[in-house]
Amino acid sequence: MAAAPPPPSCCLVALPPHAKDGLVVFGKNSARPRDEVQEVVYFPAADHEPESKVECTYISVDQVPKTHAIVISRPAWLWGAEMGANEHGVCIANEAVNAREPAAETEALLGMDLVRLGLERGSTAKEALDVIVALLEEHGQGGNYYEDAGSCHSFQSAYLIVDHEEAWVLETVGKYWAAEKVTEGVRCICNQLSLTTKIDAEHPELRSYAQRQGWWTGEDEFNFSEVFSPADDHLHCCAGKDSLEKQEEGITVQTMIDILRDKASGVCIDSESFLTTASMASVLPQSRGSPCIHYFTGTPDPSRSIFKPFIFVDDVKLVPKAQSPCFGDDDPARREPRFQEKPDRRHELYKAHEWARAVIASGQEQGRRLRRTMLELEKQGLEAMEEILASPAPPDPAEVADLFYDCVDTEIKFFK
């Protein structure tokens, strides 16, 4: 039986010379089951007691003495993240992939847990990569990717890990992995293995494992995706990469947002089983003086959503309206047998936005007007952020501490 197809998410990065004036631009569309809710959550930096543990989605792992401040977009039932950023300007997104080696159903770390662990513990892209592969080696990956009692969908995982200097593409099969460093141009990862012969770091036993499995002779050049992809996987180029490559230079966060909204290319998914349930775009200036700016929708379908900016400062105002209700230890995702019921995880922003989605989908004049006004609202935010990036002085922390909060608030009021 062929493995179920992984959700068709898409992660993208553009570095100079393709990106505009010394910026690194990052983006992800998170494709997930259609009715799943994603929340946007900020966690401040924290110090932890020695010997303490951190409870991830299915298992606990040793906590580290200090975790960085992070902002993440995540399916509301799990601990990890589909995508996010930390206070040091590291952004990570993951992709579920199938490989020749079926993914373990045994509960271990999810690819999404590793995204969050990498953000909490890595102050550069390379450091985050090292964190992820060390945890993978120690705990393995596995468990259900969906809030579904009916069947277990487990996948291998790939990651796009980016900071203001470089990007790393990390692809994993069980505890084995390979990674490629990207320092210029554009890169896209979608839901299949993409690394070929340029490998800049790898699991020490990767090649001997491939030989033991009879997947590689040891004589031909080692091509990671040829060796590890399932037989029926034909490498197709990610549509997002085509769109980015057409923009020879001058890619900005607006370019990235436009690509994430593109349904015709397949970057923005709206199918029977999957929907882009949340999106993120970030701009990471290479000069340390300017702040990194991260935009989140917190709502499904980026073509009908507003990208709202977030900047890390010390006293970021929390945004409960973009956070799902918390069910604590009673959460059906945390009790075994898991997922015996599905609680209503919609947050206030999601509920307000449902109305807008319905109006736009109706195709009437009211919907067209609504969408224009939403884009206008978004444009104001983007222009204000352009000014911050162009300014020689860093922004006043007091002015940006409630930036995301205000944008969410304005959006909800607007929908009412």
Which helix H or strand E contains 25, and what residues bound it?
strand 23-33
Give me 168's structure tokens. 């790393």
What is the rounded end-to-end Cα distance, in angstroms, of the chain?
A: 48
In one-letter notation, the amino acid at residue 246 is K
347 contacts 409 by C-beta, under 8 angstroms: no
Give me 263's structure tokens. 């349904």
Longest dimension (CA), the chain: 65
Residue reference for tokens 């399932």:
230
Which helix H or strand E contains 368, and what residues bound it?
helix 365-390
Q: Which is nearest to 242 in space by CA: 18, 17, 6, 7?
A: 18
Query: What sections of 125-276 are H helices per DSSP?
Result: 125-139, 206-212, 224-228, 239-246, 253-260
| Residues with a known catalytic role | 11
Residues 6+ apart with CB under 8 A from 407: 306, 308, 309, 381
- Look at the alpha carbons of 372, 376, 382, 387 in this order and tell me if their dihedral is positive or negative: positive
Residues 6+ apart with CB under 8 A from 305: 279, 297, 298, 299, 353, 374
Total Cβ atoms within 10 A of residue 358: 11
